Structure 1
Amino acid sequence: MKEIKRILFALLFFVLLFCSANPPRLIPKVVLLLSFDGIRWDSIKDVKGFSLVEKEGFKVEKMRSVFPSLTFPAHASIATGTFPKNHGVVSSVFLEKNSKRRFSDEKEAEWLLTPPLWVLIEKKGLKSAVCAWPLSSGSWKGIYPTYYKPYSDELTDREIEEWVITCLKMRDKPNLIMAWFHGADYAGHKYGPKSPEYMEAVERSGKIIERILKAIKIEKMENRTALLIASDHGMSEVKKEIDLASRIPKKSFFPYIAISGPVANIYVENPRQYNIVKESLKPLKNACLVFEKQEVPQEFTTGDTSRSGDFLAICNPGDVFLPFRSPKKEVLKGMHGYSPSNLNMCGIFLACGDGVPKSKKEEACIVDICPTVLKMLGISENENIDGKALF
């Protein structure tokens, strides 16, 4: 009996010695936040990748965007949990009057007035990985994601997918992976939201989700990973183009006319210019909405900042402004940027995996995504965030 005890003790000693020499690798919780630009709320029915996520988890039937429902303001709202009046990205083209800076093609993170998700979690000692997310280029107050590929609309959706899967395979895995896919938005603009080409792009997006779900399974990460699928806005058919810029006199002065689809911010430098532009816009009041800065209703406000135009013009749903100082381009058949109360501007939100309940919510707003991610990673909500966690 004593001999058996000695043998068992020796075996236990070697097992403990082996375990201490080779400690088990702890797999951190990983949250994937994938944005599929321009996918409308009613376009994903029976698309397999999206259906797989919905079946296993959480869905918002209609995800409201912000105003303007454009790629850069909306992605800034997803990343920061704040509305444009707070994060400062008031459109996809704008001027900061105080500094005379124009929102550059680089779309650097420094334009954000409130911190994005990757900054919030890096400050807490967690790791982030960001690929092509609008407004992710450069640092925010000196803070970068641990791993990142700067924003570029030249990256293909397949290249972005491969980058995400590479992150999942890392030994030192990031806690948050954010990536932006733009194929559906491109198809929606070029062919319209009811076109076969748009639906094919949505189907391709579904295939991306399927392959990422498969990669999670291959890495044996199902129990430690949450997958969040979102879009920034929906898409509406274009019916008419309006030439706003040609109606504004430019003799002896040059107002800055910042046009982003159906939204135009117009900036002037003095009272004389103000009165000239005001008079020139009066005939347009039957064709679109025109507001002086101090009269903009709550539904369309982007804040009383130096980044908002002295005048704001907004097309009716289905109409779009012609680009300013650009050669005549191919006519767009799909557009967004309209009021978030317009049903066609609603996007998608689905989630599955670790910490995600199996339930549905009729409606929510994209500013609710950031606090949801923070809660999933065990980070208390920032008091300056406008949104509330979805679950």
Structure 2
Amino acid sequence: MDVTARWPARPVLLCTTTGTAVAVVNTLLDWPIGTAQRCIAIALAVASGLLLGTLPRWPLVAVGAEAVVVVVTTWFSPFTNAAALLFLLVALGVLGHRARWPVTLAGAVATYAALVVQASFGSDIDAPLLTLLGMTALPVVAGRYLAGLQRARRVAEERAAEAEARHRAETHAARLAERARLARDLHDIIAHHVGAMTLRASVGTLALDNDGDPAVARAALVDVATAGRQALDELRSVLAVLRDPDAVDAGEGSALVTDPEATLVDAIDRLRRAGMPVTSEVDPRLADTSLLVRTTVVRVVQEALTNVLKHTGPGTETTVGVTVSGTGAVRAVIENAPPSGPGPMPLPASGQGLDGMRQRVAVLGGTLTAAPTSRSGWRVEANLPGKGQA
């Protein structure tokens, strides 16, 4: 604890003035002899009062000086040193309050020595050594106790401030995480459905422009309308979460995919309707995994198939495989062959697809790789750990 900290000027001045006045009055009332001795006693009294002014900056010096004044007044005027003794005990209490234990112990030794000297000179205070020890310990204990209360209050205030700051940080982090999750969901919804709608609309346009089968154009438009309705439904789910964040089960992550299996089948069927042969094999044990795992698998497959829609043309062979091990580990592989014809109408890249998939998989402690194959195709593989493997 800093023993050199300054007190406000007014309390210091008040303490010094009051102490000096009390000491002088005590001397004038108790000194029984001539004028010269009275002047010396008054000077000592003034000195003991003024020494209180050193307490804010040098409490140990104040204790030592007050102890010297007590000893001198005991030798010179044993009947007028009550005020000096009081100031010594006050100074010791302030030292105990503000200084560390070694400094406080030094002040207590000086005080005890002064009390022993005073008792030995046969002053009006005649007490055994044990009593003098108690007189010395009392201001020390009081000062340390008050210091402990102040420290406890500061610690409580600091902890409250830290808890508040931690709460704000956690709230902010939770909001950022929710925004990132919603951004991924919006990307998945828009990229998948709009990609399918664009491709099917292109098929319908080509069918009409080239005097093709109107049934093909009609089927394409029906698919566009279906995909649009599904996109609207899922966007409404996102808006519902934005209006009521508490509706999301935090323990299950995204609550937007309530039927992952149906969503997975729909994503594969949409690619097939777009003219791309898809071979899929999904382990039935996937249904035994948690909703969060199934949702993650569905979103990864959706995004990978959306990329196939974006970057390859009709007739591109694609395989989807989802396997579950005995420990519950899930492996999802989406691989497409190189384009077999002209590419589709180019779609703007969001720059969030692969990053979004990696983030989803990383939440579960899994890994995701995406790289070209030896046949100039593309392969996406996600591995999610089972129980006890994360």
TM-score by length of 1: 0.22
Q: Which has the higher helix share?
A: 2
Q: Which has the higher strand share?
A: 1
Higher-Rg member (1/2): 2
